[in-house]
Chain A
Amino acid sequence: MTDPLESIEPGRALLLEVEVERVELERLEESGDRVSRSETTTRVARVTTDDGLGVAVSTEGEDYAELVERARRTAEAGVGHPVSYPEEVRARRVRAHDERATDVERLRELLETVEAEVPGDVTLSSVAVTGTLRRVRVRVPGQDWVERLESTVSLTVDVVGEFSGAAWDTTVGPDDLSAERLAEEAVEMAAEAPEVSPPEGEVRAAFDPVAVADLLSYTLIPALSGLEVAKGTSAFDREDLGRRVIEGDVDALNDPVRDGWPGSYGFDDEGVRPERVELVRDGRLRALYTDLYSAEKLGLDPTGSGLGSRRPEPAPGNVLVQGDAGAEELLEEADLIVRRVMGAHTASHVSGRFSVTGLWVEDADGRRVKPCSLRGNVLSDLLAVSRWVRRVGSLGAPYALMRCRAGTS
């Protein structure tokens, strides 16, 4: 059989094959189990010319020669921005894979652990676990296929007691996941009906790592994407590199090669080796995470963060955000402790501003506060950030003390 890349120069093409096996188990209070297993194979050819970058995608099992031809025609029509693929793909070694991620019996044990942890006076309305195994292979001209394996297991728990409660986490394998802790957290959130009225006006609110992870995912982290900066849809500009962009001595590190964390991978979807990159140091912008396109647009080095089977875009691997404060001291200074928020996805990575509803909030005396609105700016209202972090999915999130405007929801 003819090699579809035979006549293509090194750096000018990349083939990708992504096989995904996904198993999902759900146990619902009212109707019992639901089980699904899905297997998807996607083939992608990317061809770059002097005029553009063409991409052809198929789940129909099309031959790579056809896909390469389709991609070449698109590139020659001037679509896309030319990039240079690596002439050789070299994978980093990192533990990102656990075969048991789609083991139905093992996943079912997680559901049963949660069930056992929920007391009789709290209703377990649903518990769901999704295990995914991904086999990603890439090929460039003159080299054989290179493969990476990765997996994730996600568990979500929803309960209803005096209040509603929820908890979730994502890990590489089922053994990395603490079903007991998630059940306990959801139950603790639901156990008590909040009765204390929230304060009105400016408060010092300490957000716990789960709430911080929620806020950072829609503000700081997307603002550090090279593509968002290149498009002008980030709070930061290229010229901000080296400047102070966050109040406080905050550090942010993108670490896609952290063993056992669910945002790890050996090479990105453009065949680039991922780099551990210090994005923010002491509140100053040091770097952005980039794919080939955004790196070229901004005149930066690619960080191996191009993820996505169609046209990759920069995506963070595992991000650790840390400060220099002690968690206990930080909590002592707070008027409110915010443990879970709702509506973080409406926050803006263009301005850093957020307005959320605090669902699980305690006052300085540990009493539950009724749901309240909290408004602030992640970039300008930070007062202190803890050294200690908790892994929440692929984020190492700290406690954060922030100036907020609070009010009745």
Chain B
Amino acid sequence: MDASRILRRAEERADAAIVYELETERTEVEAVNGELRRADPERHRGVALRILRDGAWRVAHSTKPNEEDLLKSAVRAPGRGTADIPDEPPQATGKHDWTGRVHPLDALDEVAELARELSKETPHDCEIRCVASSSKYRVLTSWGTEAELHLYRVSYSVRVSDRGENGREEYYERDGATAAGPERFLERCERLLDRASRRLRDLLEAEPGPDRAERVVIDPELLGVLVHEAFGHATEGDLVARGESILRGKIGERVASECVTVVDDPTEPGPFGSYPFDDEGIEGRCTVLVREGVLESYLTDLTSAAELDAPPTGNGRIEALGDHVQTRMSVTYVEPGDADREELFEEAGDGAVYLLGSKGGQTDTATGHFQFSAKLGYVLEDGEPARPVRDVGLTGHTLELLRGVELLSKDLRLHAGYCGKGGQLVPVSDGGPHALVEGPFNLRSG
């Protein structure tokens, strides 16, 4: 397959075209309670062609690519619309090496053995997973992109569960990175498992949390998920353009308290959601979404940039080669403040609740309503997290939450995750510091 020739031929029949080539080697390890359930290498390859014709985007993808079939499938697909791309979009170029120290296939046995051992030694039911991949990705576009990426990506998770007086509980932790291979798992998994086991023991002793709290302290993981889900999705240009965002028409307006600055930045190798260029061949860049509480920018892919008459921010992403591009976040976080974490606990006062981790959540971006469950909470007493509580989380309204942020700590932590939208999952990072937020809050959660 000659990708350049496909692009040239597609350009003759379309207003814009993108060709993708992807080769991936991937390993997946899973150990449960001392038994190695899988340690499998996989190989995948695919080619896709995306064209803009008659104002409609059309995609053809195959794992058995044939030049004529791809062109025919893309060109003949019916569709009509008003989609466009900006004039002279900023294209990415060059070869980007985002590999790690160890190739995923070279450490499969070592990863498998460690996962098996750790899952056996843990005094709870324990499941450990590690997925590592090496991908060679090439993107060519009709607006001049000719970019290649050699990317290592690793993610691993631990899940521990046990039965206590209140029934069965589980605790889950995940870590992930780009430009890193299985060495990250080998170096860090044991620490992650220790933390999850400690938290599980607290959860097994925890009482149901209070229904309400006047103030909460949110840890970096939950703050990241809140900023991603409750706020970040509402900045996505495709949702803004189709009227599904509460932030539509609010550029320049105050949407959060003055101490809040939110950025989306995929440019640094390391975080799980990073990339040097997006899936439209646009160079990634740091976008300030909120500066000192004021909404400054939306995120865009090429189509939503044209619709909103906004600059392309390099946030057009896909899960798989046959998918449509959507506006997606990358590495989204609240910038840290200057307080110590202890100061936040002091300031929050007795009876406030410290919320840790996220079991997930959901937002209606059109109305701003959100619902999130924390993994665990602690009621604060004498400036310290004291009594563990379970079944706590936050429900409320995005802008009210952000306007209630009073104080941010100086620590910044990013967490790895997958973000679902329109049936596609893409790797992301989110995070921030610890945040003290003024309520009142409804803390009920499952």
Contacts and interface: CB of A to CB of B under 8 A. Distances in A.
A125 B242 contact: yes
A407 interface: yes
Contacts of B33: 231-232
B41 interface: yes
Nearest to A235: B168
Contact of A125 (B55, B61, B244, B393): B244
A158 B244 CA distance: 9
A357 interface: yes
A31 B55 contact: yes
A69 B445 CA distance: 49
Nearest to A404: B444
Given A38-B59, A346-B372, A409-B395, A32 B324 contact: no
Nearest to A23: B77
Contacts of A233: 125, 127, 159, 161, 170
Interface in A300-322: 310-311
Nearest to A78: B36
A77 interface: yes
Size band of the B side of the interface? 35 or more
A105 B78 contact: yes
Contacts of B170: 233, 348, 350
A78 B108 CA distance: 13
Contacts of B446: 346-348, 351, 353-356, 375-377
Given A60-B44, A346-B445, A350-B169, A375 B125 contact: no
B391 interface: yes
Nearest to B81: A32
A142 interface: no
A351 B168 contact: yes
Judged by DSSP, the binding face of B is strand
B367 A163 contact: yes
Nearest to A30: B241
Interface string B112-133: 1000000000000101000000
A250 B174 CA distance: 36
Interface stretch (A50-58, A92-100, A253-261, A388-396): A50-58
Interface string B40-63: 111111101000000111111111
Contacts of A234: 168
B369 interface: yes
A373 B38 contact: no
Contact of B369 (A37, A59, A79, A409): A409
Given A41-B63, A105-B78, A233-B125, A373 B442 contact: yes
Contacts of B243: 29, 123, 125, 160
A163 B238 CA distance: 19
B320 interface: yes
Nearest to A409: B395
A59 B43 CA distance: 6
Judged by DSSP, the binding face of A is strand
B40 A56 contact: yes
Given A35-B77, A38-B321, A60-B45, A353 B391 contact: yes
Contacts, number: 255
Given A33-B80, A235-B167, A164 B44 contact: no
A293 B78 CA distance: 45
A7 interface: no
A273 to B, nearest CB: 24
Contact of B364 (A70, A342, A353): A342
Contact of A373 (B45, B109, B361, B371): B371
Contact of B211 (A37, A52, A407): A407
A265 B22 CA distance: 32
A39 B445 CA distance: 42
A346 B307 contact: no
A36 to B, nearest CB: 4
Contacts of A52: 36
Nearest to A200: B211
Given A58-B44, A77-B109, A310-B42, A36 B61 contact: yes
B79 A343 contact: no
Contacts of B162: 232
A127 to B, nearest CB: 11
B351 interface: no
Interface string A148-187: 0000000000101001100000000000000000000000
Contact of B40 (A74, A375, A407): A74
Contacts of A163: 367
Contact of A310 (B40, B321, B323, B444): B40
A342 B322 contact: no
Interface string B71-115: 001000111111100000000000000000000000001001000
Contacts of B370: 357
Contact of B444 (A164, A342, A373): A373
B396 interface: yes
B23 to A, nearest CB: 8
Nearest to A193: B367
A342 B362 contact: yes
A60 to B, nearest CB: 5
Contacts of A79: 36, 38-40, 112
Contacts of A62: 43
Given A59-B45, A164-B244, A233-B125, 4 more contacts: A30-B242, A32-B82, A70-B41, A80-B36
Interface of B: 28, 32-33, 35-46, 48, 55-64, 73, 77-83, 109, 112, 125, 127, 159, 161-162, 167-170, 211, 238, 241-244, 303, 307, 320-324, 359-364, 366-367, 369-373, 391, 393, 395-397, 422-423, 442, 444-446
23 contacts: A28-B242, A29-B243, A30-B82, A32-B55, A32-B56, A34-B59, A35-B57, A35-B59, A35-B79, A37-B61, A37-B77, A38-B61, A39-B64, A77-B109, A79-B40, A125-B244, A126-B242, A232-B161, A293-B37, A343-B372, A348-B170, A348-B446, A405-B444
The 5 closest A-B CB pairs, nearest first, are A32-B81, A38-B322, A232-B125, A33-B79, A36-B59
Interface of A: 22, 24-42, 52, 54-62, 70, 74, 77-81, 104-105, 108, 123, 125-126, 128, 130, 158, 160, 163-164, 231-235, 293, 310-311, 342-343, 345-348, 350-351, 353-357, 359, 371, 373, 375-377, 405, 407-409
